[in-house]
Amino acid sequence: MNKSPIILGIETSCDETAVSIIQDHESGVPKILSNIVSSQFDIHKEFGGVVPELAARSHVEKINLIAKKALDESGLNINKISAVAATAGPGLIICLSVGLNFAKALASSLNVPFIGVNHLEGHALSPKLNANINYPYLLLLISGGHSQFLSVNGLDNYTRLGTTIDDALGEAFDKTAKLLGIEFPGGPKLEKFAKKGNPNKFNLPKPIINKGGCNLSFAGLKTAILRITKNIKLDQEKYDLAASFQKTIEEILHVKTEIAFQEFRNINSTKKSNFIIAGGVAANDGIRKKLSEVSKKNNFVPIFPDLKLCGDNAAMIALVGLEKYKIKKFDSFDLIASPRLALDKKAKFLKGSGLVY
Ligand code: KG4
Ligand code: ZN
């Protein structure tokens, strides 16, 4: 086995075609040799959301070019690749299949192992691309499709502490943005609107704030926003609503994070632990500041991935590939895409407020 393995990672689970090449390093933090992400915002924005068929077609058109770009940028000869890793799920099945099939063909032609990766595990481990972080750590994963608190105990070893019972946080940002007339994906722009508004103008609900442990719920918030947007017209009112939404989210995360801290400490006996905030919504400046404050107050060390590693990327997929390569956890070419893959496989499916007690 190569002493400093080099992994080529591929990500096509949704609307980003991404390829990255990373190399193991003695410091424990792998070197990112290239990390190319091609987003499809322009294709989907007129539909207000991702259209699976268009996304898959675009992946097919671009994957070869993006892989070539990643290879050129790394300066490597293709024969130096030790293994090829690709997202196997969760995500849109026809999109996942494009990356998986490309990865299998490449691995087969290079005669190197092929490794299927859980996209969520990519987000969960992503801060390890910036720093050497030991297990266990507490993770808040906030993306367009998921919102979960987890104890990350090791590779493929997770204990879910809380999850959303309805919408994901990124989805709540995108839906609120849409109601305010902001084009898809609205999360980052909504944050900019919020900076121009009065956060105390609208009093919004905080669903299940006093029950359900560190489980989360955002659907009621969206309904309240829908009601308010029917009666507002001025730009300043939209800024105020965005600011009130941002503040409410920060308050919900504040309360739920403190509960998660307690639950994490109940199962891990560490005095000072790392708290990783990952996924697309971890790019939100206000959330970063609020969760940094809350962490310090509770003796946790807050860690955020680099901004370019918060959203979907292939470096995080290559990273999981690298960890699996080191323990020779390879997959056969029979592996198929799984639209639903969890991190904690024992955790119950929790959807609907009736399930929170
Ligand atoms: O992790 P990600 O790139 O894709 C998924 O796996 O879902 O997350 C995308 C989500 C979108 O909902 C997007 O609006 C949201 O992350 N997002 C943000 C910000 N940047 C991205 N939400 C709030 N504030 C931001 N600055
Ligand atoms: Zn993601």
Tens of pLDDT, residue by residue over 313-342, are: 999 999 999 999 999 999 999 999 999 899
Q: 311 CB under 6 A from ligand 1?
A: yes
Ligand 1 near 304 CB (within 6 A): no
354: pLDDT strictly greater than 80: no
Look at residue 289 and give its three-state secondary structure.
helix
Nearest CA to ligand 1 atom 10: 144
* The CATH homologous superfamily of the domain defined by 133-304: ATPase, nucleotide binding domain (3.30.420.40)
Atom of ligand 1 nearest to the CA of 171: 12
Ligand 1 contacts CB of residue 147 (under 6 A) = no
Q: How far apart are CA 31 and CA 73, in angstroms?
A: 13
| pLDDT-derived band at 2, boundaries 50, 70, 90 | low
Quick check: pTM over 0.85? Answer: yes
- Residue predicted with more confidence, 103 or 345: 103
What's the pLDDT at 143? 93
- Tell me the pLDDT of the chain averaged across its residues: 94
Least confident of 95-104, 271-280, 287-296: 271-280
Question: What are the backbone dihedrals phi and psi of residue 89, each rounded to the nearest 5 degrees, phi first?
Answer: 160, 170
Residue-wise pLDDT for 224-256, tens only, equals 999 999 999 899 999 999 999 999 999 999 999
Q: Residue 8: its pLDDT value, please?
A: 98
Residue 357: predicted pLDDT = 46
User: Alpha helices of the chain — where are they, by DSSP H?
Assistant: 41-44, 52-74, 93-110, 119-125, 169-179, 187-194, 219-229, 235-267, 285-297, 307-310, 315-326
Interval between CA 151 and ligand 1 midpoint (Å): 22
Ligand 1, residue 16: give the atom nearest the CA.
Answer: 3
Atom of ligand 1 nearest to the CA of 311: 3
For 133-178, the pLDDT digits (tens) are 999 999 999 999 899 999 999 999 999 999 999 999 999 999 999 9
* Ligand nearest to the backbone CA of 122: 2
Class assignment of domain 6-128+309-326?
Answer: alpha beta
Sequence-distant (6+) residues with CB within 8 A of 25 are 4, 31
**Does the C-beta of 253 come closer than 6 Å to ligand 1?**
no
**Which-ligand-closest: CA of 147?**
1
pLDDT at 127: 92
| Nearest protein CA to atom 8 of ligand 1, as residue | 280
CA atoms within 13 A on the CB side of 181: 11
Cα gap 213→146, rounded to integer Å: 17
The Cα–Cα gap between 160 and 348 comes to: 9
Decide: 121 in ligand 1 pocket, CB within 6 A: no
Q: Where are the domains of the chain?
A: 6-128+309-326, 133-304
Ligand number, closest to the Cα atom of 121: 2
Instruction: Provide the pLDDT for residue 270.
Output: 78
pLDDT attached to residue 1: 63
Give yes or no for residue 312 CB within 6 A of ligand 1. Answer: yes
pLDDT of residue 103 exceeding 90 = yes
Question: Would you say the CB of residue 187 lies under 6 angstroms from ligand 1?
Answer: yes
% residues pLDDT > 90 (the chain) = 84
Instruction: Please indicate whether residue 173, judged by its CB atom, sits closer than 6 Å to ligand 1.
Output: yes
User: Ligand 1 centroid vs 283 CA: distance in angstroms?
Assistant: 7
Q: Which of 45, 173, 249, 313 to mutate to test ligand 1, by most ligand atoms within 8 A of the CB atom?
A: 173
